Each structure stands twice: as structure tokens, then as C-alpha cells.
Amino acid sequence: MYVCLCNAVSDKTIRDAVRRYQPTSIQHLRQLVPVGKQCGKCIRAAREIMHEELQNLPPYKEIA
């Protein structure tokens, strides 16, 4: 499903970016994926997807 119609960003794109880079804020996510750069109507949905994906990530284990 498209989250940002202005920049054609899908929920899959946001989920992939969150899994790969684990952004800690919507501002960090906006640096990775072009959401909210025009009309801004997608920010709420993008934030919800980001938080949902961050909760589903496995716990980080430091090796060394």
C-alpha cells in the first residue's frame, strides 16, 4: 500500500528501511525515505509503521 502518494513510497519501503537502519525518530526515517517532504499527510502513517516494525525487531546482541 502506498503511504506517501507524493513520492510513491510504500509501506514495504518504509518497513525495509526500518529493519535495515533502525531509525530512532521520524526525522531519521525522513533522511532514509522521502516521506513527508511535500504535503505531510503521510507522516502519521509512516510513524506508526516505523514503531510497529521497531517493536517486531529481534533484540540486539552485541558480539565482541
Q: What is the CATH number assigned to the segment(s) 2-56? A: 1.10.10.1100
- Coil, strand or helix at 9: strand
- Coil, strand or helix at 63: coil
Taking only the tens of pLDDT, the chain with its 64 residues reads 999 999 999 999 999 999 999 999 999 999 999 999 899 999 999 999 999 999 998 876 666 6
Q: What is the pLDDT, as a whole number, of residue 58?
A: 81
Q: What is the pLDDT, as a whole number, of residue 11?
A: 97
Q: What is the pLDDT, as a whole number, of residue 59?
A: 74
Q: What is the pLDDT, as a whole number, of residue 45?
A: 96
Q: Which residues contact 11 (CB under 8 A, 6 or more apart)?
A: 1, 2, 3, 45, 49
